[in-house]
Amino acid sequence: MGGDAAWDIGLAHPDLWAGVIPIVAVADRYVTHYWQNAQYVPTYFVAGSLDGGKMAANGSKLDRYFHRGYDTTIAEYLGRGHEHFHEDIQNIFDWMSRRRRDFFRRKFDCRTMRPWDNYFWWLEVSQFPERAVVMPADWPQKNRKAMRIGGEINKTGAISVRPGAAKATVWLAPQLVDFNEPVAISVIGRRSARSRKLIEPSLEVLLEDIRGRGDRQNPFWAKVVL
């Protein structure tokens, strides 16, 4: 179950990790709906070929990763079953040493179905539409499709967001925009909205962000609530 959880959490929050290593894991529930998020977080899978057909069960999901060129590695031990595979630890550490977390990604397009999987890099959303939410206790529910959340900051500093939900907050830092210039923000959805204004950094916002995320090395300096 630890491997299952690592896979799930990795895809649910791809902005938090440099890489994810699911060991003897099975793609189930949300992992099957969040597969597009794997393009943003490298994955290293360790499994045994005789582990109850897990590799076959995961096949269609892993094929998607490979066919789309996602950073995916599989270490499959032939003739082995459900184990810890301690001998692979040096390979894992070597793989980890060559990955770095992307703190300030300027473009992303993710999927979510849980209200707490609502923060991706610099975009936070809330008040999900009911048709996009499936709570773990209610699984499965038919006719539910993962909600699409995306954002882009182009070379000129203009921001466009696809929040999917009713409310969105854009968090900003000097690595993303120039606070000395007005920032253009557009919202993609049923009600398109555009604004362009000068955004001032705020100590209060910075401290709020550090308290909420605990990231003292890469704090956000300002926010815009949409």
Domain limits of the chain?
2-97, 107-225
Name the average pLDDT for the chain.
Answer: 89
Residue 112 has pLDDT above 70, yes or no: yes
% the chain with pLDDT above 70: 97
Q: Each residue of 89-101: b (16+ CB within 10 Å) or e?
A: eeebeebeeeeee
Question: Mean pLDDT across the stretch 180-208?
Answer: 81
| Dist CA 198 CA 223 (whole Å) | 12
Q: Of all residues in the chain, what percent carry a pLDDT higher than 90?
A: 53
CATH of 2-97, one of 3.40.50.300, 3.90.76.10, 3.40.50.150, 3.40.50.1820: 3.40.50.1820
Whether the CB-CB separation of 43 and 65 falls below 8 Å is answered with yes
Q: Is the pLDDT of residue 129 over 60?
A: yes
Give SS3 for 87.
helix
| 131 confidence band (pLDDT: 50, 70, 90) | confident
pLDDT over threshold 70, residue 110: yes
Using alpha carbons, list the distances in angstroms from residue 10 to 111, 135, 195: 13, 18, 34
